[in-house]
Amino acid sequence: MLKVLIIDDEPNVRKGLKILVPWEENGFEICGDSGDPDEGLSLIMSMEPDIVLIDIKMPGRLGLDIIREVRENGFSGKFIIVSGYSNFDYAKDAIRYGVKSYILKPVDEDELMEIILKLKEEIAQDRKWEKDKKIVEEDAIRNLLLEGNKELEEKLCKYDSFQTAIIFDEYSKSNDKAARKLESLIKEKLNKYADDVDVIRMNNYVALLFKDFRNSRVNRILLDLKIRISSEIGRNIFITLGSECDNPVFISHSYKEAEKLLNYKFIYFEKEILSVDTVKEEEKLISTEKINSEKLYSYIEVNDIESINDYLIKIKNNVILEKLSEDEIKISAIKLFLGLVGKLSKDYDLKMENFFDEENIVRDINNINSLKSLIKYLSNNFIEISTRIGEKSSYGIINKMVVYINKNYYRDLKLEGLAEIFNYNSAYLGKLFKNEVGENFNTYLDKVRIKEAKTLLLGEQLKVYEVSEKVGYKNIDYFHSKFKKYVGMSPMNYKKKSEKI
């Protein structure tokens, strides 16, 4: 429906115009009326009607004055001058402000109907022209962003600075209706900057081109936009920002920067606005470290929550510095989780599948939208697994040590290392171990290793030095001496003797 506003100081004229023609049947609605020129001016600017029927001469103000003022303030609607004066000078002045319709009182129904239908057709043509023009302009800006546009770059030289941004919404990526709504919301929120901010819908997101805005102001506008839109659509949007440039030739470079930053959406999803500088600052604060999943396994075994979380922070830092993709991160997380669940289930005879079903783990991880949320998810689940292990073998610190040694005898185990894992003083832990087990740590470890070595010598076609390495002795001579001490013969003689039996 096209909106029609009536401004005339005569109440009977206003009333008559409302019923003179069947407005609604012809696609019009009377949105308001006024007998006061000043109020009428305010109504035009606030209601933005498509057509205004206005008296040429009212007490205190000419209709032409109102037309001139609203035109100067950007109003582009159509006017129909209604007057009791057949004065060519009035008509001539009206033409200067784009008024083509002039009707004398008393108003003739057929004449008015002919005029409004003609204006309706003009408005439809104007809108089509505006739409086509906008499509052409948006295509030109789209090309400028993607690969540059010499003709448009020349027109933009009047501006001193440029900066691009991208607004991404995961849901809108696969939902055209949501994408249109997002674009519409952005245009609505940025309407007051319409002349200096271009809003262009790309394939999977919306791009913005700021003209003559400094970086700090762009950041403020984007932050406000993010808060308002996220609140309205009920989910967080992700914004990337290209570098500021002072030459339109570099607009495409700024856009490509913003587009490349979308690759880091999963890593930096919680950031308010992601720019190249933000990424550099983040990377300065962290360093890469070698990580070993066996350490994480150990921390889970002994319920060392602080070390579990420290380990996950190291994973997070490595992911940031290596700039891994979302798929790479999730695949690694799934492998890590399933690997640990499988090993711990076997080692501790825990039916983990009752709590950590493989299908659920894969689904849960794939549904996570940020690195921060993924790390939290892993932390919560690893701590839960650790608690279940503790419930399974909660016989005190020494029993935990014994379980740990029996599972990890092949590693380079030292009392000092276990003391650090279990958060005890090494000397005190050594005494505690001897009191509980009846022999010192090193003796117990040697016996576990030699027992396993005997099994390997009998059951597998391994050379002695291979058995030595498998049970944790890197020095073959040391292995020989320990084996002879506890078995009474060399590994080779033990193997030969067993083969004869």
Using H for helix, E for strand and C for coil, what is the string for 116-166? Answer: HHHHHHHHHHHHHHHHHHHHHHHHHHHHHHHHCCHHHHHHHHHCCCEEEEE
pLDDT reported for residue 477: 93
- Which residue bears the tokens 């279990």? 422
pLDDT reported for residue 182: 93
- 37, 12 in Cβ contact below 8 A? no
Distance, CA of 37 to CA of 42 (rounded, Å): 9
pLDDT reported for residue 420: 85
- 433, 419 in Cβ contact below 8 A? no
- 473, 491 in Cβ contact below 8 A? no
How many Cβ atoms are within 10 Å of 106's Cβ, its own excluded?
Answer: 10
Phi-psi region at 5: left, alpha or beta (left = phi > 0; alpha = psi -120 to 50): beta
Distance, CA of 94 to CA of 102 (rounded, Å): 9
pLDDT reported for residue 411: 92
pLDDT reported for residue 229: 95
Distance, CA of 319 to CA of 485 (rounded, Å): 49
pLDDT reported for residue 372: 96
Instruction: Look at residue 359 and give its three-state secondary structure.
Output: helix
10-residue stretch averages of pLDDT, the chain, 501 residues long: 96 94 96 95 96 89 89 92 71 74 88 95 93 85 88 89 96 86 94 92 93 94 96 94 95 96 95 94 85 84 86 94 93 93 77 74 95 96 84 66 90 91 83 88 96 88 90 94 93 81 53
Distance, CA of 464 to CA of 263 (rounded, Å): 52
Phi first, then psi: give them for residue 396, nearest 5 degrees. Answer: 100, 170
Q: What is the CA radius of gyration of the chain?
A: 39
Q: Is the peptide bond before 106 cis (omega within 30 degrees of 0)?
A: yes
Output the CA torsion 34→68→132→249 (10° steps): -130
Q: How long a stretch of residues is the chain?
A: 501
What single-letter DSSP state applies at residue 190?
T
Distance, CA of 208 to CA of 343 (rounded, Å): 50
pLDDT reported for residue 394: 42
How many Cβ atoms are within 10 Å of 204's Cβ, its own excluded?
Answer: 14
What is this structure's pTM? 0.65
Distance, CA of 284 to CA of 15 (rounded, Å): 73
Distance, CA of 448 to CA of 444 (rounded, Å): 6
Tell me the C-alpha to C-alpha distance, in Å, between residue 118 and each of 31, 110, 121, 122, 421.
20, 12, 5, 6, 87
3-state helix, strand, coil in the chain (%, to 5): 65, 10, 25
- 453, 445 in Cβ contact below 8 A? no
Which one-letter amino acid corresponds to residue 292? N
